[in-house]
Amino acid sequence: MTTHQPCPRRRYESLDGLRGVAALIVVLCHLALIDPAVASYLVDGQEQGLDAIRRVLLQSPANVFLAGEEAVYVFFVLSGFVLAIGPARGSILRWRVYYPRRLVRLYVPSIAALFLALGTTLIVPRTVSPMQSVWINQHAEGGHGLQEALLGSTLMIDAEALNTPLWSLQLEVIFSILLPLYLFVARRTPTNLALPSILALAALSGIGMALEIRVLMYLPVFAVGVLLAYGANQLSEIASETTRAQWMLVSLAALLLITSGATARLVPNSESAAPALLMATIVGAAMSVYIAAWSPSAARVLTLRPVRWLGLVSFSLYLVHEPIIVALAFVSHGQFPMWLIYSIGVTVSLAVAQLFYLVVEKPSHHLSRMIGGKKAARPGEAIRADTD
């Protein structure tokens, strides 16, 4: 067994920027689903109505701008990395403090976002219309009342009924509870087996997809991030010897892997390869985190002031954007041009995210820190958004 040496103490501020970019991609994905042609293609696999521009965005590496589900895999890898980096550096965790802190940071903003979503349904009625996309009509057909808000507040039952992105919070909660097990296994994984272990975890997720077992499909993705944290020393050494040209090749490989599911749609009957494509996506997500953390060029971009701000409000943006977008779609009744939908949707989502961060998320951070006292050790303390 290989003993993991404590990681050098440094900040990974660029990971906040990556989180912000990923959150914005999720926003763009949901905005695209207002488009009837795009929604029919993504939901039902129907290609009628796709023009050349839509085909490029949906069936090529340009799909990275609309890769909402793939962005969630990046979130999961980030969560694993961020929560494990403290223990990987030698921090001693007090579990009786960690658990309430972590759950407060997850539940308080999520519940507030659920009731924000409920408020939008009261202000803007949801009705089925032939002018709207199939995705928007699904929001009108499904339950979206007080019962869904109350059940969804558990994050275990129908959390996505009112606010679709909250499906991922259920997995975040389960991972957070199982964190000691993840750390136990990572500490005992020899460093020379880290890469094979990541590939095995990606394969396990593929098996989960094939068997339609949700937890088996997603929980291994968090473990990928945990292994990256415990291999931070070795990754840092590799990065220090990587040339700019090599970084470009690694970045291109990550892009192709993350968008492999989109480009595979050009191949007939590609649905049968979905588990293998999921494996490729997870590896691409892991590479994205590696690039963001250690590539000097990526770090410069991801720590620019606008991107840093986007990272600051990323969790809030992820939680609040979908109810806003859905309300916008029901207000427009399919009559607004897509450029206007994108302009209004992005602007309002960012503005509400900033307000939500100040009113809900930031106070939840303060409440979390009050639990157990200021000196209680916590994972990922050198990284902002350690529990998003």
CB burial string 356-374: b at 16+ within 10 A, e below: bbeebbeebbeebeebbee
Which residues 6+ apart lie within 8 Å of 79 measured at CB?
A: 172, 175, 222, 225, 388
Q: Is it the case that residue 18 has pLDDT exceeding 70?
A: yes
Q: How confident is the model at residue 11 (pLDDT cuts 50, 70, 90)?
A: low
Percentage of the chain modeled with pLDDT above 90: 80
In a domain, 384, yes or no: no
Look at residues 175, 221, 218, 180 and name the one whose alpha carbon lies nearest to residue 199: 221
Q: Is residue 7 part of a domain?
A: no
What is the pLDDT averaged over residues 232-261? 96
- What does the mean pLDDT of the chain come to? 91
Q: What is the pLDDT of residue 231?
A: 95
Q: Which two tokens stand for residue 329?
A: 């779609």
Per residue in 90-149, pLDDT tens?
Answer: 888 899 999 999 999 999 999 999 999 999 999 999 999 999 999 999 999 988 888 988
381 confidence band (pLDDT: 50, 70, 90)? very low
At 368, is the secondary structure helix, strand, or coil? helix
Parent domain of 167: 13-370
105 Cβ contact partners less than 8 Å away, ≥ 6 residues apart: 364, 365, 368, 387, 388
**What's the predicted TM-score (pTM) here?**
0.92
- pLDDT for 154 equals 93
101 residue type, one letter? R
**Residue 60 falls within a domain, yes or no?**
yes
Per-residue pLDDT of 155-172, as tens digits, reads 988 888 899 999 999 999
- Predicted pLDDT of residue 7: 46
Query: Is residue 76 one of the residues assigned to a domain?
Result: yes
Q: Is residue 290 part of a domain?
A: yes
Domain-embedded: residue 386: no
Residue 6 has pLDDT above 50, yes or no: no
Domains in the chain, number: 1
What's the average model confidence in pLDDT over 263-280? Answer: 90
In a domain, 253, yes or no: yes
Q: What is the pLDDT of residues 173-226, one digit of tens each?
A: 999 999 999 999 999 999 889 999 999 999 999 999 999 999 999 999 999 999
pLDDT for 55 equals 94
